[in-house]
Homo-oligomer: A and B are copies of this chain.
Amino acid sequence: MRKTLKSPVLAPFAALALVASAVAQRPNVPAPVISPEVTADRQVTFRVLAPKAESVRLAGSDLPGIGQGKDMAKGTNNVWEVTLGPLPPGSYRYHFNVDGVAVLDPRNPRTSESNENSWSLVHVPGADWQDTLDVPHGAVAQVTYWSSTLKKFRRLHVYTPPGYEAGTEKYPVFYLLHGAFDSDNSWSTVGRAGIILDNLIAAGKAKPMVVVMPHGHTGPFRMGGAGLSGEFEPEFVADILPLIEKRYRVHTDRTQRALAGLSMGGGHTLNIGIPHLHKFAYLGVFSSGVFGIVPRPGAPAPQGPGFEERHQAILDDAKLKEGLKLFWFATGKDDFLVETTRATVEMFKRHKFDVVYRETDGAHTWDKWREYLHEFAPQLFR
């Protein structure tokens, strides 16, 4: 039964609304356009009020079938609209392109950060494993810290499982890294990491664990710029790992540490995990591999052989490999990095690593990365 107070409580707020709308210095509030609207059959309608626009398009990094964007049609009241679907269940980042300007949905409070911009975010329910269900929920915290490596303030996200905040037990810890078009916020928004873990833990399919989601860029994402300069890896080792092990109740032995990432974060995983193999018993590489192992036209000289040579001693250390309980790769058949993944897997197999490689359908998109997380997390800390 829904409990409500009686009308004497309602009217004062109505008075406030009247007063506020008349007096407060607020920008004009647009007419109550509904956007996005998700129906039970997973049709999604996007709408934006744009009275003077000549062209409005819907754009999204992972929206199926819209390519570089989809034209929206101008309807009554200057509202442009387009309907997609039925869409596969999942979360999608999108924005509108209004006469060349990238516009977040003014009617949708939910956003998902990239390194240098934000997207609007819509969730299409229909897949229990990534929907918000009535199970015990963990918490996803933002933590600000001073990076002694980078000499600046940094932020990371931490998932704590249900029961953490009132309990006393120690948990295993899983470091989960994002890609080049993301930030530390991405796994918790479009990636739904907290929700996926909640559901796995509630079903007894994954061990309760702390999941740490750092920010992998160290500056703007430019070719050769700070974000890709190799600054993140030493920061991870010198700042992030000690910070987490000091401020959270986590186990600190190798068997209780996992590390995985997608795309750029898969590269980070290999660049951190292999030189520090004694620290991690579980490594996951999603849609990624050793960058440069496959030469590409126009790209700088391949660095794959460099990676192998630099880490020769570790790659051939049988005892280190013995302690690596899971070395898991997954990439879609249509992913532009599938050859990189294959070559990387082959390299590790050459060095007698017991690699698990899942080549799935799909491409370089968040639907796959949510699936990979859902498949990888249950295998940890067993």
Contacts and interface: CB of A to CB of B under 8 A. Distances in A.
A357 to B, nearest CB: 20
Interface string A111-128: 101111110000000000
A296 B229 contact: no
A12 B118 contact: no
A131 to B, nearest CB: 10
B11 A303 contact: yes
Query: How many copies, total?
Result: 2
A75 B364 CA distance: 37
Given A98-B98, A114-B109, A3 B142 contact: no
Query: SS class of chain A's interface: helix, strand, loop or mixed?
Result: loop
Contacts of A106: 95, 101-104, 117
A15 B229 contact: no
Nearest to A32: B220
Contacts of A114: 109
Contacts of A102: 27, 30, 106
B17 A228 contact: yes
A49 B106 CA distance: 18
A61 B153 contact: no
Interface residues of A, number: 130
A8 B303 contact: yes
Interface in A10-42: 10-20, 22-28, 30, 32
B15 A292 contact: yes
Interface of A: 2-6, 8-20, 22-28, 30, 32, 48-54, 59-61, 67-69, 78, 95, 97-104, 106-111, 113-118, 132, 134, 137, 139-146, 149-151, 153, 158, 160, 162-166, 168, 180-181, 183, 188, 194-195, 220-224, 228-231, 233-235, 238, 246-249, 263-264, 267, 271, 290-292, 296, 298-304, 306-307, 310, 336-337, 363-364
6 residue pairs, one from A and one from B, having the closest CB atoms: A12-B291, A9-B230, A13-B228, A5-B230, A141-B141, A27-B59
